[in-house]
Structure 1
Amino acid sequence: MHQVWTLVKKDILLEWRQQYAFYGILLYVVSTVFVIHLMMDKPEEKTWNALFWVIQLFVSVNAIAKSFMQESRGRMMYFYNLVHPVHFIVAKLVYNLVLMCLMSIIVLVAFFIFLSNPLTHFGYFFGMVLLGGASLSLLFTMLAAIAAQANHNAALMAIMGFPIIMPVLMLLNNISRPAFVPVIQQGVPRMFLMLAGMDVLTIALSLVLFPFLWKD
């Protein structure tokens, strides 16, 4: 746990020193939502929900890709001799999860400011925002770790992630729909279990596969 916490603090310190990356993503979020406001003003509930998760997808790609892209080969060699690969990937998973939850809240606030608030159950949707941000962060952290071994090719991460992220986005869209209606729909608990199962599977694959990538 000491190694994991030290690596998380290292990533936080790097993020603090390189604030232009965070502000660049923040500018992307605000400008995108503002353009949607100019084009659609106040979209209907289903469109509002779909747009939210699509923007979440692009924010997660931009926010998480740099977590491995900023690590040079020399620095990775240094970490290889210093820490265990499982500790390293766990630290990346924890840091990206916290970062993505923060970015998810910022996206939600931007939607409320520019696209109004059509929610009936705010607490339910807020929980879904955090859960969805965590799911996206876990998945793209694993993909970024794989892409980092291919000369830090961010395009590879997007290509690999497209067929994998589609069922996750569909689940998040369907699970979050009850937040817009007074009555909770049937089948929601089963979809929650499916999403939780995918998150557990992603964590397990990261812990198993990353040590082999680490050696390469």
Structure 2
Amino acid sequence: MWSEVKYLFLKEVTLEWRQKYAFNGLLLFTVSTIFIIYLSLRVKNQAGLPDHLWNALFWIIILFSAINAIAKSFLQESPGRQLYYYISVHPISLIMAKMVYNSLLMVVLAVIAVVVYGTVLGYPVINTLMFASVVALASIGISSVLTMMSAIASKAGNNTVLMAILSLPLLIPILLLSIKAVKNAIDDLTWGDTSDELITLAAVDCIGIALGYVLFPFLWKS
């Protein structure tokens, strides 16, 4: 199974490399969103945005970037390619490869967003290592949820709106935990003060991956 996951993951990377316009479009969306926020708020002082507003806007950017990035995960697959997958590979290998790829894609987008966002609107985070840990865990959780919802939406007429609607109730707890944990990183609290949020985020990630592992084979057979 893991050899199948490896080859399917490499297939996703190869397709992304050949279709650079898709990734460039995601970058353009993320950078444009940050630039619009900058123009709207007219941040001219060196202090930048208030910490709570910086934190909230950052996760709004991450959320909408994630939806745009991962919506195509299954929705772009043609019926012929899905039939080829159905015959050739195990469904668990397919969903695991999609989740791994989407998680890495989300981490890359989050890093780019942090660099651009911090350059334009300031970087109030003091504990960068804690911030990076939160972003990584949140990226895995968000990508696992959206990947599974993309698979469900692909079985319901490739409806991107349906994917977003189904995902929001599951994404809200991840976002709330992430916002609280990043606030601790901004305030430079200790790891002990943030351990509950980090452990819960890791548990949510495991639950999202486990649900994909258990439920996707039944969805794939439908």
Gaps of 5+ in 1: none
Equivalent in the alignment of 2:130: 124
SS in structure 1 opposite 2:190? coil
Equivalent in the alignment of 2:24: 23
Q: Give 1:136's match in structure 2, choosing from 121, 125, 142.
A: 142
Distance of 1:126 and 1:99 partners within structure 2: 15
Residue identity in the other structure for 1:4: V
Q: What is the TM-score normalised by the length of structure 1?
A: 0.96
- Matched positions, count: 216
Q: Does 1:153 align with 2:154?
A: no
Q: Give, in angstroms, the shift of residue 186 of structure 1.
A: 6.5
Asked if structure 1 preserves the Cα contact closer than 8 Å seen for 2:137 and 2:205, the reply is no
Residue identity in the other structure for 2:39: L
Q: Give 2:80's match in structure 1, choosing from 60, 74, 82.
A: 74
**Percentage of identical aligned residues:** 43
Q: Give 1:190's match in structure 2, choosing from 190, 193, 196.
A: 196
Equivalent in the alignment of 1:211: 217
Residue identity in the other structure for 2:7: T
Asked if structure 1 preserves the Cα contact closer than 8 Å seen for 2:130 and 2:191, the reply is no
Which string of whole-angstrom CA distances, capped at 9 and with x for unpartnered residues, describes residues 131-180 of structure 1?
Answer: 22122111111111111111211111101011111111101100111111
Equivalent in the alignment of 2:3: 2
Equivalent in the alignment of 1:65: 71
Moved over 6 A (4+): none
Residue identity in the other structure for 2:138: G
Distance of 1:182 and 1:2 partners within structure 2: 42
Q: Give, in angstroms, the shift of residue 196 of structure 1.
A: 1.5
Equivalent in the alignment of 2:205: 199
Change over 3 Å in CA distance of 1:182–1:83 after alignment to 2: closer
Distance of 1:150 and 1:178 partners within structure 2: 40
- RMSD of aligned Cα (Å): 1.3
SS in structure 2 opposite 1:81? helix
Q: Give, in angstroms, the shift of residue 187 of structure 1.
A: 4.8
Equivalent in the alignment of 2:181: 175
Q: Give, in angstroms, the shift of residue 183 of structure 1.
A: 3.2
Distance of 1:27 and 1:201 partners within structure 2: 32
SS in structure 2 opposite 1:119? coil
Residue identity in the other structure for 1:142: M
Residue identity in the other structure for 1:48: W
Q: Does 1:52 align with 2:61?
A: no
Residue identity in the other structure for 1:55: I
Q: Does 1:35 align with 2:39?
A: no
Which string of whole-angstrom CA distances, capped at 9 and with x for unpartnered residues, describes residues 5-59 of structure 1?
Answer: 1111111111111111111110111111111112221211110011111110001
Asked if structure 1 preserves the Cα contact closer than 8 Å seen for 2:137 and 2:201, the reply is no
Gaps of 5+ in 2: none
Q: Does 1:115 align with 2:115?
A: no
Distance of 2:50 and 2:111 partners within structure 1: 21
